[in-house]
Amino acid sequence: MRQAIFLLALIAGLAGCTASTSFAPSPSRGLATMPGVAVPRLTVTHAAVAGTAAGYVFVAPKQTDQRAPAGPAIVDDRGRVVWYHQVPTGEEATDFRTQTYQGQPVLTWWQGTSTLAGYGHGVDEIYDSHYRKIAEVKAADGYSADLHEFQLTPRGTALITVYDEVPADLSHVGGPKHSWALDCIVQEIDVATGKLLFEWHSIGHVPFSESRQANQEPALHATKRRPFDYFHINSVSDGPDGTLLVSARNTSTIYLIARDGHIVWRIGTAKSDFGPPSAVMMRYQHDARLLPGDILTFFDNGGVPREEWLSSPTVLHLDPKTKTATVVKRFIHPSRIASPYEGDLQLLPDGGALVGWGGVSKVTEFAPSGKVRFELLIDAGDTYRAFRLPWHGSPAGGPAIAVRGSTVSASWNGKLGIASWRVLTGPDGSHLAAAAQTSSAGLETAIPLPERPAAVAVEALGASGTVLGRSPVLLLSG
């Protein structure tokens, strides 16, 4: 059985970066106040300590069982979901985080379906601080937006990824002359108009020979049903002077690309322009970002098949003049985690980091020293990326209430700062009095009563006891 599970994980890793390590239905909680919604379970395995960064954890749990619930979730330091958006059955969400659009904080994510090869067909969503959709970004030229990147820019544009199956001559990398490959595409889209402003294709700029899978099985017998995924783009972001930074999993290389399409430099396995090799070593990396001060961050997976002993979220300093790279820091997990796919590294303001381990279903916050100061376990499935971010959202509506027998359930999806719930009961809606109060349990809180009330409402209370909102009154018969 152990060998079978390992083989499944190996196949998933070779296929791409969206498969999950979960082999059982997700343990989730059905909600009385939100019928049809089942919230994924998360467990804090390392309690937050002094110095833990402010804000919430942003994840989008998913799993291989398409019947299981999936969607973006905002989570507090106690592992409680405070906002959840369940996507339609058969779909998933990735790259969930806060960004800025038109000067305002927004929630963004990709939503759609993914292939066994690890890329997606879908759209990119933008929701405002009241959890209302305000924009949807689609790929141009008849393409479909891929799951790997949805990056908003200060220009009012979005950087997105696209995968396209195209005919290809693979004879120079051991494959058929008349075969198929995946062309990885970067598009910059004007969010307001949907207009295509920029497009770059990996084919024509990066040869098949740079792939770590050249002259191996993925290339040798590629077909239209299983094209040669030689590049596998997994992140795009702004670089200096109008350039774009692109990470490619299957070349184990990060590229800086000019607006005319040419490659300014490479760092990694394929023809690296930087050295020494010990500093730029990376295998099947994800989430490359260029930060001020010539700082390059990325999540170095190590990959499947395993080419490095562990995954190492890495911070490099680049010297563009001497073309040298220096390791600033690597955030190594105490248990030496080796993640086969996915993952990200977010540097925090104090020099610590939030790491999503991708194919290993954990999210870890590190202090600047590298010591773990918070950790969250996703009980089933995984999240493509994870972030620690501030958020001040407030839902447009008020609290929801449901009653089953003599148990009252209360929720207010997305309302932050709820410390407790108070239940009001009475003979009718005009004569209500406090009957019970309990601490908030997260997205939904169940409050048992001695008997079923005739009329009932709930109030959400802040830490000081201030009433944040009140539900409608439910009149119950019998």
Structural domains in the chain, CATH included, are 2-389 (2.120.10.80), 400-475 (2.60.40.10)
**162/94 Cα distance (integer angstroms):** 14
Q: Is the pLDDT of residue 167 over 60?
A: yes
Q: Give the pLDDT score at 65.
A: 65
pLDDT computed for residue 322 by the predictor: 96
The pLDDT, as a whole number, for residue 67 is: 63
21-25, 91-95, 254-258, 383-387: least confident range: 21-25
Say what the pLDDT of residue 271 is: 86
Give dist(CA 91, CA 163) in Å, integer.
18
Of 206, 161, 145, which is closest to residue 181 (Cα–Cα)? 206
Predicted local distance difference test score (pLDDT) of residue 24:
32
The token duo for 242 is: 């109008």
Residue 78 near residue 52, CB atoms below 8 Å: no
pLDDT at 175 over 80: yes
* pLDDT at residue 185 is higher than 60: yes
With 90 as the cut, is the pLDDT of residue 14 above it? no
* Mean pLDDT of all residues belonging to the chain: 92
With a cut of 50, say whether residue 21 has pLDDT above it.
no
pLDDT per residue as tens digits for the range 38-69: 898 999 999 999 999 999 999 999 865 666 77
Confidence of residue 23 (pLDDT cuts 50, 70, 90): very low
Distance of CA 232 to the CA centre of its chain: 17
Residue 463 and residue 444 in contact, taking contact as beta carbons nearer than 8 Å: no
Residue 29 has pLDDT above 90, yes or no: no
Q: Can you tell me the mean pLDDT for 257-276? A: 94
171 φ/ψ angles, rounded to the nearest 5 degrees = -65, -25
Q: Mean of the pLDDT values across residues 342-361?
A: 97
Pairwise CA distance, residues 367 & 334, whole Å: 13
pLDDT at 7 over 90: no
- Which of 402, 377, 374 lies closest to 388, judged by CA? 374
What pLDDT, on the 0 to 100 scale, is given for residue 3? 36
Q: Which amino acid is located at 330 in the chain?
A: R
Across residues 247-251, what is the average pLDDT?
Answer: 97
pLDDT of residue 69: 76
Beta-sheet pairing, 81-84 with 73-75: antiparallel
Q: Cα(77)–Cα(55) distance, rounded to whole angstroms?
A: 9
Residue 57: C-alpha distances to residues 5, 72, 73, 407 (Å): 30, 11, 8, 30
pLDDT-based confidence at 30, cuts 50/70/90? confident
Indicate whether 346 pLDDT > 80. Answer: yes
pLDDT for the residue numbered 8: 34
Confidence of residue 31 (pLDDT cuts 50, 70, 90): very high
Pick the residue with more confidence: 305 or 222? 222
**Predicted local distance difference test score (pLDDT) of residue 270:** 76
Could you tell me the pTM of the whole model? 0.93
Q: Are 237 and 245 in contact (CB under 8 A)?
A: yes
Q: Over 70: is that where the pLDDT of 26 sits?
A: no
